Structure 1
Amino acid sequence: MNPTRVFTIGSNVFREVVRDRILYIIALYALLLSGAVMLIPQIAGGAEDKIILDFGLAAMNVLGLIVAVFVGTGLVNKEIEKRTVLVLIAKPISHSEFITGKHLGLAAVLGALLIAMTAIFLALLQLNQLAYPLDSVLLAVVYLFLQLSLITAIALVLGVFTSTVLATLLCFGIYLMGNLSQDLLEFGRLSKNPAIEQLVRNLYLVLPDLSRLDLKNQAVYGFSALPDAMTLITNAIYGVVYTVLMLAIAIIVFSRREF
Structure 2
Amino acid sequence: MKRVLALAILTFKEGIRDKALYGISILAVMMLLATILLTNLFGHELGKVMVDLCLSTIAFAGLLLTFFVNINLMAKDIDKLTIYSVLSKPISRTEYVVGKYFGLVLLVIVALSLLALFSTGIILIIKGIDPGHSFKDFSWVCYFQAFSYEIMMFVLLNAIVIFFSTITTSSFLTLIFSLSVYVTGQSIEEVVVFFKKEALIYEISSPINEFLVNYLQYVFPNLSAFDIKTFASHGKLISWEHSIALLGYSLSYSIVLLFFAALIFSRRELK
Q: Structure 2-normalised TM-score?
A: 0.88
Give the distance between the partners of 2:73 and 2:209, measured in 1 at CA: 36
Counterparts in 2 of 1:29-68, with a 5 A limit?
29-38=28-37, 40-68=38-66
The answer to whether the 8 A contact 2:161-2:178 is kept is yes
Instruction: Work out the CA distance in 1 between the residues paired with 2:34 and 2:261.
Output: 40
Q: Which stretch has the larger CA shift, 105-114 or 83-92?
A: 83-92
The alpha carbon displacement at 1:24 in A equals 4.3
State the Cα distance separating 1:198 from its structure 2 match: 1.7
The amino acid that maps onto 1:27 is: I
Moved more, 191-200 or 50-59: 191-200
Moved more, 247-256 or 226-235: 226-235
Are residues 1:245 and 2:244 paired? no
List runs of 5+ in structure 2 lacking aligned partners: 200-204
Letter in 1 for 2:154: L
Instruction: Identify the match of residue 194 of structure 2 among 187, 190, 199.
Output: 187
SS in 2 for 1:26: helix
Matched ranges for 1:206-221 at <5 A:
206-221=219-234
Contact 1:213 1:236 in 2 (8 A): no
Distance 1:205 1:93 in 2: 34
Alpha-carbon displacement from aligned partner over 1:183-215 (angstroms, at most 9, x marks no partner): 111122134232223224332110011122222
Mapped to 2, the partners of 1:181 and 1:106 lie a distance apart of: 26
Query: Please, which runs of 5 or more residues in structure 1 have no aligned partner?
Result: none
Q: What is the distance in 1 between the residues matched to 2:162 and 2:70?
A: 6
Matching of residues 67-106 of structure 1 within 5 Å: 67-106=65-104
Q: Report the counterpart of residue 109 of structure 2 in structure 1.
A: 111
Residues 23 and 113, structure 1, Cα contact 8 Å, conserved in 2: no
Q: What displacement does 1:170 show?
A: 1.5
- C-alpha separation between the residues in 2 aligned to 1:150 and 1:23? 23
Give the distance between the partners of 1:34 and 1:74, measured in 2 at CA. 28
Which SS does the other structure have where 2:221 is aligned?
Answer: coil
**Does residue 208 of structure 2 align to residue 201 of structure 1?**
no
- Output one character per residue of 1:39-84: Cα deviation in whole Å (capped at 9) or x when no partner: x233324311111110110111011011112233333322122222
Pick which of 121-130 and 59-68 moved more. 121-130
Q: Which amino acid aligns with 2:115?
A: M
- Please point out which of 15, 18, 39 is paired with 1:17: 15
Distance 1:70 1:202, change over 3 A: farther
Contact conserved, 1:64 with 1:148, CA < 8 A, in 2?
yes
Report the counterpart of residue 143 of structure 2 in structure 1: 137
Give the conservation status (yes or no) of the 8 Å contact 2:15–2:70: no
Larger radius of gyration: 2
Q: Which amino acid aligns with 1:46?
A: H
Q: 1:74 to 1:203 in 2, by over 3 A?
A: farther
How many residues are matched?
254
Q: Secondary structure at the match of 1:93?
A: coil
User: What's the offset of the Cα at 1:11?
Assistant: 1.0
Contact 2:24 2:64 in 1 (8 A): no
Equivalent residue, structure 1, for 2:121: 123
Measured in 2, the distance between the counterparts of 1:100 and 1:188 equals 38
Deviation of residue 154 (structure 1)?
0.2
Q: In 2, are the aligned partners of 1:136 and 1:226 still within 8 Å (CA)?
A: yes
Residues 86-120 of structure 1, C-alpha deviation per residue, up to 9 Å, x if partnerless?
22222210112111111111111111112111111
Distance in 2, matches of 1:49 and 1:196, equals 42
- Counterpart CA distance in 2 for 1:85 and 1:209 is 33
Tell me the secondary structure at the aligned position of residue 227 of structure 1.
Answer: coil
What letter is aligned with 1:31?
M
1:149 alignment counterpart: 155
Q: Could you say what the CA RMSD is over the residues aligned between the two structures, in angstroms? A: 1.6
- Which of 164, 170, 173 pairs up with 1:158? 164
Partners of 2:123 and 2:113 in 1: CA distance: 15
CA distance in 2, matches of 1:128, 1:190: 43
